[in-house]
Structure 1
Protein backbone atom coordinates (compact mmCIF):
# COMPACT_ATOMS: atom_id res chain seq x y z
CA UNK A 1 0.00 0.00 0.00
CA UNK A 2 2.83 2.40 0.86
CA UNK A 3 4.59 1.69 -2.45
CA UNK A 4 1.33 2.24 -4.33
CA UNK A 5 0.76 5.61 -2.65
CA UNK A 6 4.37 6.61 -3.36
CA UNK A 7 4.14 5.69 -7.02
CA UNK A 8 6.72 2.92 -6.53
CA UNK A 9 9.49 5.52 -6.32
CA UNK A 10 9.20 6.26 -2.60
CA UNK A 11 10.04 2.79 -1.37
CA UNK A 12 11.07 3.72 2.17
CA UNK A 13 8.19 4.27 4.57
CA UNK A 14 7.22 4.54 8.22
CA UNK A 15 3.74 4.76 9.66
CA UNK A 16 1.76 5.58 12.75
CA UNK A 17 -1.51 3.59 12.48
CA UNK A 18 -4.81 5.41 12.47
CA UNK A 19 -7.52 4.94 15.06
CA UNK A 20 -10.60 4.56 12.91
CA UNK A 21 -10.29 7.34 10.33
CA UNK A 22 -8.06 9.67 12.38
CA UNK A 23 -4.57 9.93 13.71
CA UNK A 24 -2.80 8.06 10.93
CA UNK A 25 0.59 9.29 9.72
CA UNK A 26 2.55 7.94 6.76
CA UNK A 27 6.10 9.00 5.85
CA UNK A 28 7.40 8.05 2.40
CA UNK A 29 10.88 8.74 1.06
CA UNK A 30 13.18 8.05 -1.87
CA UNK A 31 16.03 5.90 -0.57
CA UNK A 32 18.30 7.10 -3.40
CA UNK A 33 18.24 10.64 -2.02
CA UNK A 34 17.60 10.54 1.72
CA UNK A 35 18.35 8.22 4.61
CA UNK A 36 15.87 7.89 7.50
CA UNK A 37 17.14 6.66 10.86
CA UNK A 38 15.90 6.47 14.46
CA UNK A 39 12.24 6.39 13.44
CA UNK A 40 9.94 6.50 16.45
CA UNK A 41 6.35 7.57 17.11
CA UNK A 42 4.36 8.91 20.01
CA UNK A 43 0.66 9.33 20.50
CA UNK A 44 0.44 12.25 18.06
CA UNK A 45 3.83 12.36 16.32
CA UNK A 46 6.16 10.39 14.08
CA UNK A 47 9.83 11.46 14.09
CA UNK A 48 13.00 10.46 12.29
CA UNK A 49 16.54 11.61 11.67
CA UNK A 50 16.93 12.51 7.98
CA UNK A 51 20.23 12.68 6.12
CA UNK A 52 20.35 14.11 2.60
CA UNK A 53 22.78 11.78 0.84
CA UNK A 54 24.15 14.25 -1.72
CA UNK A 55 25.24 16.80 0.92
CA UNK A 56 25.43 14.58 4.03
CA UNK A 57 23.26 17.19 5.79
CA UNK A 58 21.10 15.87 8.63
CA UNK A 59 18.11 17.17 10.54
CA UNK A 60 15.30 15.89 12.72
CA UNK A 61 11.86 15.72 11.12
CA UNK A 62 8.67 15.43 13.15
CA UNK A 63 5.29 15.04 11.51
CA UNK A 64 2.17 15.46 13.61
CA UNK A 65 -1.53 14.67 13.65
CA UNK A 66 -2.97 16.79 16.44
CA UNK A 67 -6.04 15.67 18.39
CA UNK A 68 -9.44 17.22 17.81
CA UNK A 69 -10.65 16.66 21.39
CA UNK A 70 -9.91 19.58 23.69
CA UNK A 71 -9.04 17.36 26.67
CA UNK A 72 -6.08 15.95 24.67
CA UNK A 73 -4.64 19.25 23.45
CA UNK A 74 -2.31 19.81 26.41
CA UNK A 75 -1.04 16.21 26.14
CA UNK A 76 -0.25 16.89 22.48
CA UNK A 77 1.55 20.15 23.30
CA UNK A 78 3.65 18.37 25.94
CA UNK A 79 4.57 15.60 23.49
CA UNK A 80 5.69 18.22 21.00
CA UNK A 81 7.88 19.83 23.67
CA UNK A 82 9.34 16.43 24.56
CA UNK A 83 10.43 16.01 20.91
CA UNK A 84 12.62 19.12 21.03
CA UNK A 85 16.16 18.09 19.99
CA UNK A 86 19.37 19.20 21.72
CA UNK A 87 20.75 22.70 21.14
CA UNK A 88 22.34 23.10 17.72
CA UNK A 89 20.37 20.32 15.98
CA UNK A 90 18.24 21.23 12.97
CA UNK A 91 14.52 20.52 13.37
CA UNK A 92 11.57 20.59 10.96
CA UNK A 93 7.99 19.97 12.16
CA UNK A 94 4.99 19.56 9.86
CA UNK A 95 1.50 18.13 9.69
CA UNK A 96 -2.12 18.64 10.70
CA UNK A 97 -1.96 20.31 14.11
CA UNK A 98 -5.76 20.66 14.43
CA UNK A 99 -4.97 23.86 16.30
CA UNK A 100 -4.21 27.49 15.48
CA UNK A 101 -1.75 29.69 17.33
CA UNK A 102 -3.13 33.04 16.11
CA UNK A 103 -6.73 34.27 16.11
CA UNK A 104 -6.39 35.48 12.52
CA UNK A 105 -5.81 31.88 11.40
CA UNK A 106 -9.57 31.28 11.61
CA UNK A 107 -12.29 33.15 9.72
CA UNK A 108 -14.59 33.10 12.76
CA UNK A 109 -14.30 34.98 16.02
CA UNK A 110 -15.09 31.98 18.23
CA UNK A 111 -11.50 30.71 18.53
CA UNK A 112 -10.51 29.23 21.91
CA UNK A 113 -8.06 31.85 23.22
CA UNK A 114 -6.76 29.60 25.99
CA UNK A 115 -5.79 26.82 23.54
CA UNK A 116 -4.20 29.39 21.25
CA UNK A 117 -2.04 30.61 24.13
CA UNK A 118 -1.04 27.08 25.14
CA UNK A 119 -0.06 26.19 21.57
CA UNK A 120 1.93 29.41 21.17
CA UNK A 121 3.72 28.74 24.45
CA UNK A 122 4.63 25.24 23.23
CA UNK A 123 6.02 26.65 19.98
CA UNK A 124 8.03 29.24 21.90
CA UNK A 125 9.41 26.56 24.23
CA UNK A 126 10.45 24.49 21.18
CA UNK A 127 11.94 27.61 19.55
CA UNK A 128 9.94 26.93 16.41
CA UNK A 129 8.82 29.53 13.90
CA UNK A 130 6.28 29.02 11.13
CA UNK A 131 7.41 28.78 7.52
CA UNK A 132 5.33 31.32 5.63
CA UNK A 133 2.67 29.88 3.33
CA UNK A 134 2.93 31.87 0.11
CA UNK A 135 -0.51 31.70 -1.46
CA UNK A 136 -3.18 30.79 1.14
CA UNK A 137 -4.52 32.11 4.44
CA UNK A 138 -6.30 28.91 5.43
CA UNK A 139 -5.63 25.22 4.82
CA UNK A 140 -8.91 23.61 5.94
CA UNK A 141 -12.58 24.24 5.19
CA UNK A 142 -15.75 22.53 6.37
CA UNK A 143 -16.96 23.05 2.78
CA UNK A 144 -20.36 24.50 3.71
CA UNK A 145 -22.08 27.31 1.80
CA UNK A 146 -20.73 29.82 4.32
CA UNK A 147 -17.63 27.84 5.31
CA UNK A 148 -15.64 27.85 8.50
CA UNK A 149 -11.97 27.94 7.55
CA UNK A 150 -8.80 27.58 9.60
CA UNK A 151 -5.07 27.25 9.14
CA UNK A 152 -4.67 23.84 10.79
CA UNK A 153 -1.77 22.53 8.68
CA UNK A 154 1.71 23.95 8.46
CA UNK A 155 5.47 23.68 8.61
CA UNK A 156 7.58 24.95 11.52
CA UNK A 157 11.36 24.99 11.86
CA UNK A 158 14.02 26.10 14.31
CA UNK A 159 16.72 28.63 13.50
CA UNK A 160 19.37 26.03 12.67
CA UNK A 161 17.17 24.40 10.02
CA UNK A 162 16.14 27.78 8.60
CA UNK A 163 19.75 28.92 8.18
CA UNK A 164 20.82 25.66 6.52
CA UNK A 165 17.87 25.50 4.11
CA UNK A 166 17.55 29.20 3.41
CA UNK A 167 15.97 28.91 -0.05
CA UNK A 168 12.80 27.04 0.89
CA UNK A 169 9.35 27.99 -0.42
CA UNK A 170 6.02 26.70 0.91
CA UNK A 171 2.99 26.59 -1.40
CA UNK A 172 -0.55 25.30 -1.06
CA UNK A 173 -1.82 23.11 -3.86
CA UNK A 174 -5.39 22.60 -5.06
CA UNK A 175 -7.79 21.15 -2.48
CA UNK A 176 -9.47 18.97 -5.11
CA UNK A 177 -9.27 15.71 -3.12
CA UNK A 178 -9.74 16.73 0.51
CA UNK A 179 -11.11 19.36 2.87
CA UNK A 180 -7.43 20.05 3.66
CA UNK A 181 -5.22 21.53 0.95
CA UNK A 182 -1.87 19.77 0.30
CA UNK A 183 1.27 21.74 1.17
CA UNK A 184 4.44 21.56 -0.91
CA UNK A 185 7.76 22.57 0.66
CA UNK A 186 10.56 22.82 -1.91
CA UNK A 187 13.66 24.82 -2.70
CA UNK A 188 13.39 27.77 -5.07
CA UNK A 189 14.13 25.51 -8.06
CA UNK A 190 10.89 23.63 -7.40
CA UNK A 191 10.36 19.87 -7.44
CA UNK A 192 11.48 17.76 -10.37
CA UNK A 193 8.73 15.83 -12.08
CA UNK A 194 9.10 12.05 -11.86
CA UNK A 195 9.82 10.23 -15.09
CA UNK A 196 8.65 6.79 -13.98
CA UNK A 197 6.10 4.91 -16.09
CA UNK A 198 2.54 4.78 -14.80
CA UNK A 199 -0.11 2.53 -16.30
CA UNK A 200 -3.62 3.98 -16.37
CA UNK A 201 -6.45 1.46 -16.07
CA UNK A 202 -8.75 3.38 -18.40
CA UNK A 203 -6.30 2.93 -21.29
CA UNK A 204 -7.68 -0.56 -21.85
CA UNK A 205 -11.02 0.93 -22.92
CA UNK A 206 -9.53 3.35 -25.44
CA UNK A 207 -9.38 2.69 -29.21
CA UNK A 208 -5.97 1.56 -30.39
CA UNK A 209 -4.77 0.20 -27.06
CA UNK A 210 -4.73 -3.46 -28.12
CA UNK A 211 -2.89 -2.63 -31.34
CA UNK A 212 -0.16 -0.71 -29.51
CA UNK A 213 0.33 -3.61 -27.10
CA UNK A 214 0.49 -6.24 -29.85
CA UNK A 215 2.93 -4.29 -32.01
CA UNK A 216 5.28 -3.60 -29.10
CA UNK A 217 5.05 -7.07 -27.56
CA UNK A 218 5.50 -9.00 -30.81
CA UNK A 219 8.59 -7.10 -31.88
CA UNK A 220 11.42 -9.71 -31.73
CA UNK A 221 13.87 -8.94 -28.90
CA UNK A 222 17.59 -9.32 -29.59
CA UNK A 223 18.22 -11.51 -26.55
CA UNK A 224 18.06 -15.22 -25.85
CA UNK A 225 17.99 -15.14 -22.05
CA UNK A 226 14.29 -15.44 -20.97
CA UNK A 227 14.63 -12.80 -18.25
CA UNK A 228 16.27 -10.28 -20.59
CA UNK A 229 13.65 -11.01 -23.25
CA UNK A 230 10.87 -10.33 -20.76
CA UNK A 231 12.56 -7.17 -19.49
CA UNK A 232 12.98 -5.70 -22.98
CA UNK A 233 9.44 -6.64 -24.02
CA UNK A 234 8.05 -4.83 -20.98
CA UNK A 235 10.35 -1.86 -21.52
CA UNK A 236 9.43 -1.54 -25.20
CA UNK A 237 5.72 -1.85 -24.39
CA UNK A 238 5.88 0.88 -21.74
CA UNK A 239 7.75 3.18 -24.13
CA UNK A 240 5.14 2.68 -26.86
CA UNK A 241 2.28 3.23 -24.40
CA UNK A 242 3.90 6.43 -23.12
CA UNK A 243 4.18 7.85 -26.65
CA UNK A 244 0.64 6.71 -27.52
CA UNK A 245 -0.88 8.22 -24.37
CA UNK A 246 0.86 11.57 -24.95
CA UNK A 247 -0.69 12.00 -28.37
CA UNK A 248 -4.10 10.73 -27.28
CA UNK A 249 -4.51 12.61 -24.01
CA UNK A 250 -2.54 15.82 -24.43
CA UNK A 251 -5.74 17.91 -24.41
CA UNK A 252 -7.11 16.03 -21.39
CA UNK A 253 -3.95 16.78 -19.42
CA UNK A 254 -4.20 20.47 -20.29
CA UNK A 255 -7.83 20.48 -19.18
CA UNK A 256 -6.91 18.71 -15.94
CA UNK A 257 -4.28 21.31 -15.09
CA UNK A 258 -6.72 24.09 -15.99
CA UNK A 259 -9.33 22.57 -13.67
CA UNK A 260 -6.83 22.29 -10.81
CA UNK A 261 -5.77 25.90 -11.39
CA UNK A 262 -9.39 27.07 -11.25
CA UNK A 263 -9.95 25.15 -7.99
CA UNK A 264 -6.82 26.73 -6.50
CA UNK A 265 -7.99 30.22 -7.53
CA UNK A 266 -11.37 29.55 -5.89
CA UNK A 267 -9.56 28.25 -2.78
CA UNK A 268 -7.62 31.53 -2.62
CA UNK A 269 -10.75 33.62 -3.20
CA UNK A 270 -12.52 31.76 -0.39
CA UNK A 271 -9.85 32.97 2.01
CA UNK A 272 -11.21 36.52 1.78
CA UNK A 273 -14.86 36.18 0.73
CA UNK A 274 -17.79 33.78 0.45
CA UNK A 275 -18.04 32.03 -2.90
CA UNK A 276 -21.13 32.67 -4.97
CA UNK A 277 -23.48 29.71 -5.61
CA UNK A 278 -22.22 29.57 -9.23
CA UNK A 279 -18.59 29.44 -8.06
CA UNK A 280 -19.39 26.73 -5.52
CA UNK A 281 -21.14 24.67 -8.22
CA UNK A 282 -18.18 25.11 -10.53
Structure 2
Protein backbone atom coordinates (compact mmCIF):
# COMPACT_ATOMS: atom_id res chain seq x y z
CA UNK A 1 0.00 0.00 0.00
CA UNK A 2 1.37 3.41 -1.02
CA UNK A 3 -0.21 6.57 0.39
CA UNK A 4 0.84 10.03 -0.78
CA UNK A 5 -0.11 13.42 0.60
CA UNK A 6 0.03 16.83 -1.07
CA UNK A 7 0.23 15.45 -4.62
CA UNK A 8 -0.60 18.93 -6.01
CA UNK A 9 -2.35 17.14 -8.92
CA UNK A 10 -5.93 17.88 -9.95
CA UNK A 11 -6.11 14.56 -11.83
CA UNK A 12 -4.24 11.26 -11.53
CA UNK A 13 -4.21 8.63 -14.30
CA UNK A 14 -3.08 5.00 -14.57
CA UNK A 15 0.22 5.95 -16.22
CA UNK A 16 1.20 8.09 -13.23
CA UNK A 17 0.19 5.36 -10.79
CA UNK A 18 2.15 2.71 -12.69
CA UNK A 19 5.25 4.89 -12.65
CA UNK A 20 4.93 5.27 -8.86
CA UNK A 21 3.95 1.66 -8.14
CA UNK A 22 6.34 -0.05 -10.55
CA UNK A 23 3.80 -2.64 -11.71
CA UNK A 24 0.74 -2.66 -13.96
CA UNK A 25 -1.42 -4.71 -11.57
CA UNK A 26 -2.79 -1.98 -9.31
CA UNK A 27 -5.80 -0.10 -8.02
CA UNK A 28 -5.89 3.52 -6.90
CA UNK A 29 -8.03 6.16 -5.28
CA UNK A 30 -7.27 9.87 -5.34
CA UNK A 31 -8.51 13.16 -4.05
CA UNK A 32 -7.76 16.03 -6.43
CA UNK A 33 -5.72 19.03 -5.43
CA UNK A 34 -7.35 22.45 -5.42
CA UNK A 35 -5.40 25.07 -7.37
CA UNK A 36 -2.28 22.88 -7.11
CA UNK A 37 -2.62 22.67 -3.32
CA UNK A 38 -3.22 19.48 -1.36
CA UNK A 39 -4.26 16.25 -3.04
CA UNK A 40 -4.14 12.63 -1.87
CA UNK A 41 -3.38 9.33 -3.56
CA UNK A 42 -3.59 5.68 -2.45
CA UNK A 43 -2.22 2.81 -4.59
CA UNK A 44 -2.52 -0.89 -3.79
CA UNK A 45 -2.65 -4.38 -5.26
CA UNK A 46 -6.11 -5.96 -5.26
CA UNK A 47 -4.52 -9.36 -4.57
CA UNK A 48 -3.16 -8.01 -1.28
CA UNK A 49 -5.89 -5.63 -0.15
CA UNK A 50 -9.51 -6.17 -1.26
CA UNK A 51 -11.38 -2.89 -0.81
CA UNK A 52 -15.03 -3.13 0.26
CA UNK A 53 -15.81 0.53 0.91
CA UNK A 54 -14.21 3.88 0.09
CA UNK A 55 -14.99 7.41 1.21
CA UNK A 56 -13.14 10.46 -0.04
CA UNK A 57 -13.56 13.68 1.90
CA UNK A 58 -11.78 16.98 2.13
CA UNK A 59 -8.36 16.07 3.50
CA UNK A 60 -8.77 12.29 3.75
CA UNK A 61 -9.27 9.02 1.91
CA UNK A 62 -10.92 6.27 3.95
CA UNK A 63 -10.83 2.62 2.87
CA UNK A 64 -12.32 -0.46 4.48
CA UNK A 65 -11.32 -3.86 3.18
CA UNK A 66 -9.77 -7.27 3.71
CA UNK A 67 -6.02 -7.74 4.16
CA UNK A 68 -5.76 -10.97 2.19
CA UNK A 69 -2.65 -12.48 3.81
CA UNK A 70 -4.28 -12.60 7.25
CA UNK A 71 -7.92 -12.44 6.09
CA UNK A 72 -8.51 -9.53 8.45
CA UNK A 73 -10.82 -6.57 7.94
CA UNK A 74 -8.88 -3.32 8.29
CA UNK A 75 -9.69 0.38 8.17
CA UNK A 76 -7.17 2.75 6.59
CA UNK A 77 -7.25 6.56 6.52
CA UNK A 78 -4.80 8.60 4.45
CA UNK A 79 -4.72 12.15 5.88
CA UNK A 80 -3.50 15.54 4.76
CA UNK A 81 -4.49 18.10 7.38
CA UNK A 82 -4.93 21.77 6.48
CA UNK A 83 -2.56 24.26 8.03
CA UNK A 84 -5.28 26.43 9.57
CA UNK A 85 -6.84 25.30 12.85
CA UNK A 86 -10.56 25.70 11.93
CA UNK A 87 -10.20 23.50 8.84
CA UNK A 88 -8.17 20.94 10.82
CA UNK A 89 -10.94 20.69 13.39
CA UNK A 90 -13.50 19.94 10.67
CA UNK A 91 -11.26 17.20 9.23
CA UNK A 92 -10.60 15.67 12.65
CA UNK A 93 -14.32 15.61 13.42
CA UNK A 94 -14.99 13.81 10.10
CA UNK A 95 -12.39 11.16 10.94
CA UNK A 96 -13.76 10.79 14.48
CA UNK A 97 -17.21 10.11 13.04
CA UNK A 98 -15.78 7.44 10.74
CA UNK A 99 -13.90 5.80 13.62
CA UNK A 100 -17.03 5.74 15.81
CA UNK A 101 -18.82 3.53 13.27
CA UNK A 102 -16.42 0.67 14.05
CA UNK A 103 -14.45 1.78 17.07
CA UNK A 104 -13.05 -1.67 17.95
CA UNK A 105 -11.71 -2.50 14.48
CA UNK A 106 -8.18 -2.73 13.09
CA UNK A 107 -7.46 0.94 12.35
CA UNK A 108 -4.44 2.66 10.84
CA UNK A 109 -4.59 6.44 10.42
CA UNK A 110 -1.57 7.86 8.63
CA UNK A 111 -0.27 10.91 6.84
CA UNK A 112 0.66 14.55 7.29
CA UNK A 113 -1.27 15.95 10.24
CA UNK A 114 0.35 19.41 10.14
CA UNK A 115 0.50 19.19 13.94
CA UNK A 116 3.02 18.12 16.53
CA UNK A 117 2.54 16.30 19.83
CA UNK A 118 5.34 17.90 21.83
CA UNK A 119 7.18 21.27 21.64
CA UNK A 120 10.47 19.41 21.04
CA UNK A 121 9.13 18.17 17.71
CA UNK A 122 9.59 21.58 16.08
CA UNK A 123 12.91 23.41 15.79
CA UNK A 124 13.64 26.75 14.12
CA UNK A 125 16.37 29.39 14.19
CA UNK A 126 13.98 31.86 15.84
CA UNK A 127 13.09 29.30 18.55
CA UNK A 128 9.47 30.45 18.31
CA UNK A 129 7.41 28.91 21.08
CA UNK A 130 5.16 26.06 20.03
CA UNK A 131 1.40 26.54 20.19
CA UNK A 132 0.58 24.58 23.33
CA UNK A 133 -3.16 24.83 22.65
CA UNK A 134 -2.70 23.23 19.23
CA UNK A 135 -0.55 20.46 20.74
CA UNK A 136 -3.10 19.80 23.47
CA UNK A 137 -5.96 19.74 20.96
CA UNK A 138 -4.14 17.26 18.72
CA UNK A 139 -3.34 14.92 21.61
CA UNK A 140 -6.91 15.14 22.92
CA UNK A 141 -8.24 14.19 19.48
CA UNK A 142 -5.97 11.13 19.39
CA UNK A 143 -7.14 10.16 22.86
CA UNK A 144 -10.78 10.40 21.76
CA UNK A 145 -9.98 8.24 18.73
CA UNK A 146 -8.40 5.66 21.06
CA UNK A 147 -5.35 5.21 18.85
CA UNK A 148 -1.67 5.13 19.72
CA UNK A 149 1.35 6.19 17.71
CA UNK A 150 3.21 3.18 16.35
CA UNK A 151 6.77 2.64 17.54
CA UNK A 152 9.05 4.97 15.55
CA UNK A 153 12.61 4.29 14.34
CA UNK A 154 14.96 6.61 12.49
CA UNK A 155 15.21 10.35 12.23
CA UNK A 156 13.82 12.73 14.78
CA UNK A 157 11.99 14.90 12.22
CA UNK A 158 10.03 14.19 9.04
CA UNK A 159 9.87 17.68 7.47
CA UNK A 160 12.76 20.05 6.71
CA UNK A 161 12.79 23.52 5.16
CA UNK A 162 15.07 23.56 2.13
CA UNK A 163 17.75 25.59 3.91
CA UNK A 164 17.52 23.42 7.03
CA UNK A 165 16.57 26.28 9.36
CA UNK A 166 13.20 24.79 10.31
CA UNK A 167 12.26 21.16 10.94
CA UNK A 168 9.34 19.34 12.53
CA UNK A 169 7.49 16.02 12.77
CA UNK A 170 4.01 16.32 11.20
CA UNK A 171 4.01 12.83 9.59
CA UNK A 172 2.98 9.74 11.57
CA UNK A 173 1.19 6.41 11.79
CA UNK A 174 -1.49 5.90 14.44
CA UNK A 175 -2.95 2.45 15.11
CA UNK A 176 -5.72 1.01 17.27
CA UNK A 177 -5.28 -1.50 20.09
CA UNK A 178 -6.91 -4.15 17.88
CA UNK A 179 -4.32 -3.50 15.17
CA UNK A 180 -1.49 -3.70 17.68
CA UNK A 181 -2.85 -6.95 19.10
CA UNK A 182 -3.02 -8.44 15.62
CA UNK A 183 0.38 -7.09 14.48
CA UNK A 184 2.28 -6.40 17.75
CA UNK A 185 5.53 -5.59 15.96
CA UNK A 186 4.07 -2.66 13.99
CA UNK A 187 6.84 -0.07 13.65
CA UNK A 188 7.28 2.88 11.33
CA UNK A 189 10.64 3.94 9.95
CA UNK A 190 11.55 7.50 8.98
CA UNK A 191 13.57 7.15 5.78
CA UNK A 192 15.99 9.52 4.05
CA UNK A 193 14.32 12.23 2.00
CA UNK A 194 15.13 12.90 -1.65
CA UNK A 195 13.48 15.64 -3.74
CA UNK A 196 10.64 16.23 -1.26
CA UNK A 197 10.89 18.36 1.86
CA UNK A 198 9.20 15.46 3.70
CA UNK A 199 10.87 12.17 4.62
CA UNK A 200 8.95 9.06 3.53
CA UNK A 201 7.74 6.93 6.43
CA UNK A 202 7.32 3.16 6.17
CA UNK A 203 5.10 1.02 8.41
CA UNK A 204 6.22 -2.58 8.87
CA UNK A 205 5.19 -5.44 11.12
CA UNK A 206 8.41 -6.70 12.66
CA UNK A 207 9.30 -9.13 15.43
CA UNK A 208 11.47 -6.68 17.36
CA UNK A 209 11.11 -7.12 21.11
CA UNK A 210 10.59 -3.67 22.64
CA UNK A 211 10.13 -5.10 26.14
CA UNK A 212 6.94 -5.41 28.21
CA UNK A 213 3.90 -3.72 26.68
CA UNK A 214 2.99 -0.71 28.87
CA UNK A 215 -0.41 -0.51 30.56
CA UNK A 216 -2.60 2.15 28.91
CA UNK A 217 -5.70 3.90 30.14
CA UNK A 218 -7.53 6.78 28.46
CA UNK A 219 -8.56 9.74 30.62
CA UNK A 220 -12.07 9.64 29.18
CA UNK A 221 -12.59 6.16 30.72
CA UNK A 222 -12.07 7.58 34.21
CA UNK A 223 -15.11 9.83 33.75
CA UNK A 224 -17.40 6.81 33.32
CA UNK A 225 -18.83 5.34 36.53
CA UNK A 226 -19.23 1.98 34.81
CA UNK A 227 -15.45 1.85 34.29
CA UNK A 228 -14.76 2.35 38.03
CA UNK A 229 -17.33 -0.32 38.94
CA UNK A 230 -15.75 -2.73 36.43
CA UNK A 231 -12.24 -2.22 37.84
CA UNK A 232 -13.41 -2.61 41.44
CA UNK A 233 -15.46 -5.72 40.65
CA UNK A 234 -12.63 -7.33 38.71
CA UNK A 235 -10.11 -6.55 41.45
CA UNK A 236 -12.30 -8.09 44.17
CA UNK A 237 -12.81 -11.27 42.15
CA UNK A 238 -9.11 -11.94 41.58
CA UNK A 239 -8.01 -15.17 43.24
CA UNK A 240 -4.28 -15.38 43.98
CA UNK A 241 -2.85 -18.87 44.40
CA UNK A 242 0.57 -20.03 45.55
CA UNK A 243 3.23 -18.27 47.59
CA UNK A 244 4.17 -14.64 47.40
- Hey, what does 1:106 align to over in structure 2? 122
Structure 1 portions without partners, runs of 5+: 190-282
1 CA distance for matches of 2:148 and 2:25? 29
Deviation at 1:71, TM superposition (A): 3.2
Structure 2 portions without partners, runs of 5+: 1-15, 208-244
Structure 2 residue 95 is matched with structure 1 residue 80: yes
2 CA distance for matches of 1:77 and 1:117? 14
- Hey, what does 1:89 align to over in structure 2? 105
Q: Which runs of 4+ in 1 moved over 6 A?
A: none
Q: Which protein has the larger Cα radius of gyration, Structure 1 or Structure 2?
A: 1
2 CA distance for matches of 1:139 and 1:3? 26
Report the TM-score when normalising by structure 1.
0.63
- Hey, what does 1:23 align to over in structure 2? 38
2 CA distance for matches of 1:50 and 1:134? 28
| CA deviation string 1:88-112 (max 9, x = no partner) | 2111000011111222211244211
Deviation at 1:73, TM superposition (A): 2.3
- Hey, what does 1:6 align to over in structure 2? 21
Instruction: Choose the corresponding residue for 2:156, options 111, 125, 137.
Output: 137
Determine helix, strand or coil for the equivalent of 1:144.
coil
Q: Aligned pairs, how many?
A: 189
Q: Whose strand proportion is higher, 1 or 2?
A: 2
1 CA distance for matches of 2:51 and 2:201? 21
Report the TM-score when normalising by structure 2.
0.72
Q: Whose helix proportion is higher, 1 or 2?
A: 1
2 CA distance for matches of 1:188 and 1:129? 17
1 CA distance for matches of 2:206 and 2:24? 23
Instruction: Choose the corresponding residue for 1:159, options 162, 173, 177.
Output: 177
- Hey, what does 1:121 align to over in structure 2? 140
Determine helix, strand or coil for the equivalent of 1:40.
strand
Determine helix, strand or coil for the equivalent of 1:181.
coil
Determine helix, strand or coil for the equivalent of 1:133.
strand
RMSD: 1.8
